[in-house]
Structure 1
């Protein structure tokens, strides 16, 4: 089956908007003492919370991920592959670049800590470099559950995301009314899992067989979101804002679930004209490399902010009009352009590392059959726990080196890589067939 260009476009579009959104709302201020602070634009200028409606695009990333995973798992299963082997390859595709990124950042944290860099500054930088990590443990969990989720999809179809959404609503009631915060952890998998499961449904034609379905999703989800914001306890902001007692993302709320449904509906409505546009080779030649570099862009996009902060703010060269003023917004244009140029340079410089990771992936990815799968599952559990902790605390909590998350991520990734050497010879060859390299 040929790749769906629209699915690749959605991943690229989601990453680009995440990067631009983070850059747009990042505000830097040089204090009289010379230290750099980062006031929270969404809290200081409340109307900017409406901008998150345009930049909270992660539902589409999970939707595209579900679409791609459903097709990949179907093909692997048809070829006789096992869940552990399939998952190992997909997990390493994420863990290897994340491990390389984390290793380099942790090395810098260790050097800066030993050099006596101010703890508060180090903690802020460590948080900025890990702010995007919340997505990784959720995506790894959904990937691990894909064989079960896809089996449920094949049996019950749209009832699966409907049931997951209903449970997510019940969980959110507990969080908002009974103040049971830990129950909300389930909604990271349930709400984003709805988008992931809808990717299965989209791929198998359950969302596009009737023309009214995308309209109903877009309109129904949009109306539900507006009602929950206007009449309920939920803020309009689709990312966490300091001082708000109820958040739409921490954990994902009923309003975020409504936004997922609305955004998926809009995505389906936009598919035909965008596909026609992507069929034009000049357009596709622009989109394809962005999609190919999506993980690099996602992981490294805050490094240019630190570089520009050091070059222009620490030196006092950057003009600093009032936060949210007309002059401040006018300076967002050169700010975004400079960050884009720096990020392009970072991506170019990382080319040899990216190519090395591709080779490493091919040399360490497990085969279809595994003699023992326990290293994979243990490694995934350790990696998910380590990434979740880094997402919450950053790379330098309280200015300290995060020993346990660093060891957990390194050990977890190594265990997943070790599954290649626990792989058994393929047993699904026809009778009389020869194993490769054997007589």
Structure 2
């Protein structure tokens, strides 16, 4: 009994650590986006947002700490592996499981996108400056690149997990070799074919980390420090070589004007950094797990996790609020962009944005509750198949296409309303949620523990 209790406690601790990784990642995403977003009011009263990483090049080094997306995919793979295994054991189908997870992502995303698109449509109709509208539309979609990638990896989970059961660590290793090759191809070969092949790295590179989540859950990454330490060392050294000697920039976020990017598509350097970050996360896990056992810390992690999707989607809205309240009115002090005075004001900037975001999250609680009730009604059944199953796959594909457009172009590219993408997202969400042809109604999703919080997005 004591041994069993110890194993259960270890499992619970590990689940709490997965929740912590999600919460930590979402916090750094929000802070990182706020930190690099700086507003400037021109003499004619217009507001612009110079690109900090391009204007102040040394800030590109900061992205080594703020590019935290590998933790999303690691935690996502960890949770998805267990979820799919349980669903399959209970007789669920791949389409049913994928559909339930897609609904968790698509419903809040559709509400957010719908409200932003409504605002874009109204602003375009009343003659708002197209340049301003395009800038705002881009800012409100800058976080969207993650959504189609995660949605597609979730849809591929039954296949990826089957490969994992057969090949174990060989699967992420093979995907890593392929991703490294694609990354080299992108920087050595010009032309549209190289660009098209490079797009595969969105699934290959992030898929490596997702697969490592499967491996972590089943103890394949070792129970000591040797394997994580080797991952951190090899990944870190590889990144240093690829940046120092190779052609890749240090910035782990897209920078305008750079011929080679580490994110679009994910590069060989990003792959190396992701491996290093996973190794580091596993190395510090024992220490952090002890801290997560404290009740106050656990409550904070759960609270942040419960609001994670809202934080992720809505965290740029406070920037618009502050722009309207302090910059359009000329009330905000404006030291030279990137100067010492400007950096000093980053502190109050972050605090004010945090206060506004807290109010936004609080105001959206009724919407979140309504979405939870709606999800329970419209998600496909765990055993859906036939016509309903094909609808799930079609809906995921169409939605991923629309989200990819928004991620690359924003909500108002060229100052215009994106009709095709808006219709595409609406059709995709409807295919996954409107309950005709399911063959089985209701859902059987398992939640809690490691599948709370951000698990709602996948």
TM-score bin, normalised by smaller chain: over 0.9
8 Å CA contact 1:376–1:419 kept in 2: the answer is no
8 Å CA contact 2:239–2:270 kept in 1: the answer is yes
| Aligned equivalents of 1:374, 1:200: Cα separation in 2 | 27
Deviation, structure 1 residue 323: 1.4
Query: For each residue in 1:63-119, what CA deviation from the matched residue of structure 2 results, as whole angstroms up to 9, or x when unmatched?
Result: 000000001001111111111111111000000000000000001001111111000
Deviation, structure 1 residue 420: 6.3
TM-score by length of 1: 0.95
Partner of 2:250: 236
Deviation, structure 1 residue 418: 2.8
Q: Any runs of at least 4 consecutive aligned residues in structure 1 with deviations exceeding 3 A, and if so which?
A: none
Query: For each residue in 1:283-309, what CA deviation from the matched residue of structure 2 results, as whole angstroms up to 9, or x when unmatched?
Result: 111111101111110000000000000
* Unaligned residue ranges in structure 1 (runs of 5+): 427-439
Partner of 2:34: 23
* Structure 1 residues 13-412: aligned runs within 5 Å: 13-179=24-190, 180-370=194-384, 371-372=386-387, 373-412=389-428
Deviation, structure 1 residue 170: 1.1
3-state SS of 2:309 partner: helix
TM-score by length of 2: 0.91
Deviation, structure 1 residue 413: 0.3
| Aligned equivalents of 2:364, 2:282: Cα separation in 1 | 35
Partner of 1:436: none
3-state SS of 1:131 partner: coil
* Larger mean Cα displacement after TM superposition, 301-310 or 205-214: 205-214
| Aligned equivalents of 2:184, 2:103: Cα separation in 1 | 36
8 Å CA contact 2:80–2:157 kept in 1: the answer is yes
Deviation, structure 1 residue 423: 2.4
| Aligned equivalents of 1:173, 1:247: Cα separation in 2 | 12
| Aligned equivalents of 1:403, 1:368: Cα separation in 2 | 33
| Aligned equivalents of 1:420, 1:164: Cα separation in 2 | 38
Partner of 1:437: none
Query: For each residue in 1:113-144, what CA deviation from the matched residue of structure 2 results, as whole angstroms up to 9, or x when unmatched?
Result: 11110000000000000011100000010000
Tell me which of the two structures has the higher relative contact order, counting C-alpha pairs closer than 8 angstroms and 6 or more residues apart: 2
8 Å CA contact 2:148–2:400 kept in 1: the answer is yes
8 Å CA contact 2:39–2:323 kept in 1: the answer is yes
Deviation, structure 1 residue 367: 1.2
Q: Could you say what the CA RMSD is over the residues aligned between the two structures, in angstroms? A: 1.2
3-state SS of 1:368 partner: coil
Partner of 1:433: none
Change (3 A) 1:419 1:376: farther
| Aligned equivalents of 1:150, 1:220: Cα separation in 2 | 26
3-state SS of 2:411 partner: coil
Deviation, structure 1 residue 368: 1.8
* Unaligned residue ranges in structure 2 (runs of 5+): 1-7, 443-458
3-state SS of 1:155 partner: helix
Query: For each residue in 1:220-267, what CA deviation from the matched residue of structure 2 results, as whole angstroms up to 9, or x when unmatched?
Result: 100110111100001100000111100100110000000010000000
8 Å CA contact 2:140–2:410 kept in 1: the answer is yes
| Aligned equivalents of 1:420, 1:274: Cα separation in 2 | 46
3-state SS of 2:45 partner: coil
| Aligned equivalents of 1:376, 1:419: Cα separation in 2 | 11
